[in-house]
Structure 1
Amino acid sequence: MKFAKHVFVCTNQKEAPKKSCGAEHGAALLDAFKQELTQRGLQKEIRAQRAGCLDACAFGPALVVYPEGTYYGNVQVADVAELVEKHLVNNEVVERLKLDF
């Protein structure tokens, strides 16, 4: 496997009045993840990339981390450093943001 972990950030745009992660700063989240991973020198081990609909826009902005398949919702740019440190580096789920389907 090329990457140890993969973060897919929903950047999907839906027409109003439907809620969409893209309209709720999905692109800013993706940029924040890329910046944080680069600053920590993790960009070759962990990849963050845009995703289409993760079917979690009602809980958005949403993202999913693989290989675990852990979904997170209502993620804010201020949460990125914590998600990187706890989940991506230390394999600890951030319970306050975790989505349970």
Structure 2
Amino acid sequence: MSYFKHHVFFCCNQRAAGESCCNDHQASALQTYAKERTAALGLKGKGSVRVNKAGCLGRCDDGPVIVVYPDNVWYTYVDKDDIDEIIDSHLVHDRIVERLRLPEDAQ
């Protein structure tokens, strides 16, 4: 069994001006929000959820992106509502949010 049930990585890469990157879409702020929200829901810690910042995950053109391990599910998102849906559906109820999931051929 994994140390964490779900390990969530937010791409928070910041590229030079004019280059597409996840942090141009509030990735760092939304990572902080997700971390605080999972803690408030009692999902933080061993056997549960860990939310981390990551450097470039190599998918900035699909971004902003997060990946949930060990499920290997990649998501894109727009705002807090999307992050809430990923937390409530995937992290709490183990249901993938298909409308935000990146297509298999893009992975």
Per the shorter chain, which TM-score range?
over 0.9
Percentage of matched positions with identical amino acids: 38
Please tell me the residue identity of whatever aligns with 1:65.
Answer: V
**What's the CA shift string for 1:73-98, capped at 9, x where partnerless?**
13422211111110111111111111
Cα distance in 2 for partners of 1:82, 1:28 equals 17
What aligned pairs does 1:56-75 form with structure 2 within 5 A after superposition? 56-75=59-78
What aligned pairs does 1:72-87 form with structure 2 within 5 A after superposition? 72-87=75-90
Q: Is the 8 A contact 2:76 2:102 kept in 1?
A: yes
Q: Does 1:26 align with 2:27?
A: yes
Q: Is the 8 A contact 1:28 1:77 kept in 2?
A: no
Per-residue deviation, 1:4:
0.9
Q: Does 1:48 align with 2:25?
A: no
Quote the residue 1:7 is aligned against.
8
Measured on the aligned residues, the alpha-carbon RMSD in Å equals: 1.1
Cα distance in 1 for partners of 2:8, 2:41 equals 15
Cα distance in 2 for partners of 1:98, 1:18 equals 23
Superposed structure 1 runs of 4+ greater than 6 Å apart: none
Q: Is the 8 A contact 1:75 1:97 kept in 2?
A: no
Unmatched 5+ residue regions in structure 2? none
Cα distance in 1 for partners of 2:92, 2:77 equals 21
TM-score w.r.t. length of structure 1 = 0.93
Give the total of aligned pairs.
Answer: 101
The SS at the match of 1:63 is: strand
Quote the residue 2:37 is aligned against.
36
Please tell me the residue identity of whatever aligns with 1:31.
Answer: T
Unmatched 5+ residue regions in structure 1? none
